[in-house]
Amino acid sequence: MKKECTPLNDCVLVYREKNTNDEVEIGDNKLFIDTSWYEYDHVIQHATVRYVPKRISSYFKTEMELLPGDKVYCHHFIADEKNMIEIHDEKLSKLNYGQLYARVRDNKVHMLCDWVLVEIIEDKEEELQTKSGIWIKTEKEKKEQMGKIKYVNSKSINDGFKPGDTVMFMKDADYEMEVEGEKLYRMRNQDILAKVDGESLPLVVDHVYKENHAADMPSFDEYNEKMQ
């Protein structure tokens, strides 16, 4: 008989086979990495949903969008031992619903809550040197505070943003993580400042996310306090 479990207080229980990416393949050789020095840099940030609450708090302004078996991408706090719990002889991680960024079901990425994933934009070849041929950079660099939207949520769609839009975002909003094999920036709606025309000049900023969407969303510190 299958044993059931119903989490409370916006808690979602997820499973991972291992905590960190501690292997790298070079040719036909496999090397093992000591991840104890910078564990969070090697954390596996995807997991399989085991148990979900029947409902989530109203400040998320959305319905429960997860089912057991969904693949989810989440915050690196998933590796924190304080968030580990054993249920039915299985070691699981407990996370607040707001610490889950995206769901993958039927090979389709669906953003949760107010999270957005943004593609990294690097310098173009012609930007590495002047028109006269003087090299000003030796290699491509990431554009600061600029990216191209990859995946959006329903709230950002309502405000006129869509995949493919080039946007400017707030300083330090570029939390980098790998999603479905691609390096992307994770950020919130409120972190996006403007759409950009031709990857150069900002267009009109005609929305204020902090007022419209995120005023009553808890911070990560508040999430963690709720989970302890």
What pTM was computed for the model?
A: 0.77
Domain 115-212, classified CATH 1.10.260, yes or no: no
Identify the architecture of domain 11-113 in CATH.
Answer: Roll (2.30)
Domains 11-113 and 115-212 share a fold: yes
Q: Encode the chain (228 residues) as per-residue pLDDT tens digits.
A: 556 889 988 999 999 988 777 676 777 877 776 666 666 677 899 999 999 998 899 988 888 999 999 999 999 888 888 889 999 889 999 999 999 999 999 999 999 999 999 998 875 655 545 566 555 555 556 677 889 999 999 888 777 788 999 999 998 898 999 999 999 999 999 899 888 876 444 444 444 444 444 445 555 555 455 544
Please report, for the chain, the start and end positions of each structural domain, with discontinuous segments joined by +: 11-113, 115-212
Q: What is the per-residue DSSP string for the chain? A: -PPP----TTEEEEE-S-SB--EEEETTEEEE--TTSSGGGGB--EEEEEE--S---GGG-S-----TT-EEEE-GGGG-GGGEEEETTEEEEEEEGGGEEEEEETTEEEE-TTEEEEEEEE--GGGGB-TTS-BS-SS--EEEEEEEEEE--HHHHHTT--TT-EEEE-TT--EEEEETTEEEEEEEGGGEEEEEETTTEE------HHHHTSTTPPPHHHHHHHH-
